[in-house]
Amino acid sequence: MFTGIIEDVGIIESLTPNGEDIRLSIKIQKLDMSDVKLGDSIANNGVCLTVVALSNHGFSADVSHETIKRTGFAAYEAGSKVNLEKAMQANSRFGGHIVSGHVDGVGEVLSISQVGRYVEIWVQAPDALAKYLAEKGSITVDGVSLTVNQVDGAKFLLTLIPHSLQETIIGSYQVGTKVNLEVDVIARYLERLMLGDNAAHSSANSPKKDISMAFLAENGYLK
């Protein structure tokens, strides 16, 4: 479990093929690794990876075929930078929002505008994620906990403060940059919960129901 507060920007030293998987070696810059051991989790651009090897200057992790398929890792190469966050501790400050490290889709940067000291970025999300985007709601972009400030269909607007631009890879974004997206986990569970008893049936055998006022009333969410 993570919070979306980035602790360091790492550099990919190598990506070594291992069958259909990849062994990823990351060089850290300032991340405190004194409490990290084999088997611990570290988020890399929002992707939860397991530490399988430690070195004097970083760590290695295996990236599965499934992860490569669902994230931006397919486009990464040696020299690429990644946002790093160690798994949160129960006694640490919760500065962002609940982040699982399970990417829901890959978005694309549509525009970048300087507005005073801030930067506004429009991102195109996959159409399937549009229903999870809410104005003033939370979203994780490359592992960074951010607030959605405006929504237009499957597009959403982010406003970045100078600190976020300096301490993460977001400051290097360009139009066309692909980004890992994770929607609010509460929205995902709420959607499943609202299916009620229908959740027990295979989607292949059950008619798809749209969420409507009638559906909410039928399943006891309205009185």
pLDDT tens figures, 172-201: 999 999 999 999 988 888 888 888 888 888
Contact 168, 121 (CB under 8 A): no
Query: What is the rounded distance in angstroms from the CA atom of residue 45 to the CA atom of residue 23?
Result: 16
Mean per-residue pLDDT over the chain, rounded:
90
Q: Which of 16-20, 143-147, 151-155, 159-163 has the lowest mean pLDDT?
A: 16-20
Mean pLDDT of 22-47: 96
Instruction: Find the helix or strand (DSSP H, E) in which 27 lies.
Output: strand 21-27
Give CA torsion, residues 120, 124, 130, 136, to 10 deg.
-10
Give the global pTM.
0.86
CA distances from 198 to 98, 191, 195, 216 (A): 27, 12, 5, 13
For the domain made up of 105-184, give the CATH fold. Elongation Factor Tu (Ef-tu); domain 3 (2.40.30)
pLDDT at 193: 86
Residues shown for the chain: 223
- Is 204 a residue whose pLDDT tops 60? no
Q: Which of 25-34, 49-58, 86-95, 210-219 has the lowest mean pLDDT?
A: 210-219
Pick among 2.40.30.20, 3.40.630.30, 2.130.10.10, 2.102.10.10: CATH of 8-86: 2.40.30.20
Domains 8-86 and 105-184 share a fold: yes
User: Percent of the chain scored above 70 by pLDDT?
Assistant: 91
Parse the chain into domains and list their residue ranges: 8-86, 105-184, 188-218
- Is 111 a residue whose pLDDT tops 60? yes
Contact 54, 114 (CB under 8 A): no
Give the pLDDT band (50/70/90) at residue 213.
Answer: low
Stronger pLDDT, 18 or 140, i.e. the higher one = 140
